Amino acid sequence: MDPIRIAVVGMGKIARDQHLPSIARNADFALVASVSPRDPGVEDIANFKSLETLLADGPAIDAIALCTPPQVRYELAAMALDKGVHVFLEKPPGATLAEVDALEAHAAGAGATVFAGWHSRFAAGVAPAKAWLADRRIERVSIVWREDVRVWHPGQAWIWEPGGLGVFDPGINALSIATEILPQPFFLTSATLSTPANRAAPIAADLTFRSNAGTPISMDLDWRQTGPQSWDIVVETDAGTLSLAKGGAVLTLPSGTVHNDDEEYPGLYARFASLIRDRRSEVDTTPFTLVADAFLRGTRQSVEAFDD
């Protein structure tokens, strides 16, 4: 079978760190172009300043991976779907919930695939955690995501702008895992969003959720963490405590710890290929809905201005 001819759109950090190596390792795909307004692209691959130019003048493509900031995702995805080109949306899948719904309908009408990828769901510990929790009684859940924004998002102006999500940019990864592994759906009960006086998006947030079964879930997000970083989920159950550390990569069960290699992006590309071949889309907006609810329902407080 011919490989899927793919273009990477938005040649920033995640495109270079993860998408390009994963495409290179996957025989189902052939990288044929890149798009980035300012980035020069990579050797031997045609680079275009805009997706419009690629679609008009470039080599034929079957798919794109959209690695831009979320605020420009909808227009680019819609432009590709108009041409029947399959679309992989980096997380978060858009800047609003309704535009993501519109893309799913658009893809169905165009006979193309849209895949809203949640990379953390492909972390090594997530599937075994889900299986272990499936028939447990969940008593309490704690999510702690504390990292240093200066280390992980240096100079990314878009992340502080409306639609950039602020600390929910990493926080939504935690929610993508929690919504995958917990056996019952859950919903927001309270939130406090702390936003720097000179920014539009929060630098920290304290949230509480409750599952349909009444289980309390707490979530502590903070971008001001220096020193050790935390990407931890702890689930107390009737059969002991499960913990997922390092963003889902390291699973500890009462019987011991399972370490595994990082397979997030290879897993995403394997799923994208199979969705294209099966002519299906996969768009789960549950983590995004919980974030939107925090913005809808949360108390706002202004905190010290933040400069990079």
- Is the distance from CB of 81 to CB of 135 less than 8 angstroms? no
Residue 68 sits in the site that holds ligand NAP (CB under 6 A): yes
Stretch that binds ligand NAP, among 65-73, 216-224, 226-234, 241-249 (CB under 6 A): 65-73
Which CB, 14 or 251, lies closer to ligand NAP? 14
Which CB, 15 or 244, lies closer to ligand NAP? 15
Cβ-based neighbour number of residue 17 at 10 Å: 11
Which CB, 69 or 202, lies closer to ligand NAP? 69
Cα 133 to Cα 235: distance, rounded to the nearest angstrom: 9
Residue 35 sits in the site that holds ligand NAP (CB under 6 A): yes
Positions marked catalytic: 91
Closest CB 50 distance from ligand NAP, rounded Å: 6
Q: Show contacts with ligand NAP in window 110-149 (CB under 6 A).
A: 119
Which CB, 69 or 196, lies closer to ligand NAP? 69
How many of the chain's residues bind ligand NAP (CB under 6 A)? 22
Closest CB 302 distance from ligand NAP, rounded Å: 24
Residue 10 sits in the site that holds ligand NAP (CB under 6 A): yes
Name the residue with tokens 């009960």.
189
Helices 286-297 and 97-110: angle between axes, nearest 10 degrees = 150
- List C-alpha distances in Å: 211 to 224, 281, 295: 29, 27, 19
Which CB, 90 or 138, lies closer to ligand NAP? 90
Biggest alpha carbon distance in the chain? 60
Closest CB 24 distance from ligand NAP, rounded Å: 17
List 4, 31, 61, 67, residue binding ligand NAP (CB under 6 A): 67
In order, the DSSP letters of 3-44 are PEEEEEE--SHHIIIIIHHHHHH-TTEEEEEEE-SS----TT
- List C-alpha distances in Å: 85 to 27, 60, 273, 284: 19, 10, 13, 20
Cα 294 to its chain centre, rounded Å, is: 17
The contact set with ligand NAP (CB under 6 A) reads 9-15, 35-39, 67-70, 72, 90-91, 119, 156, 169
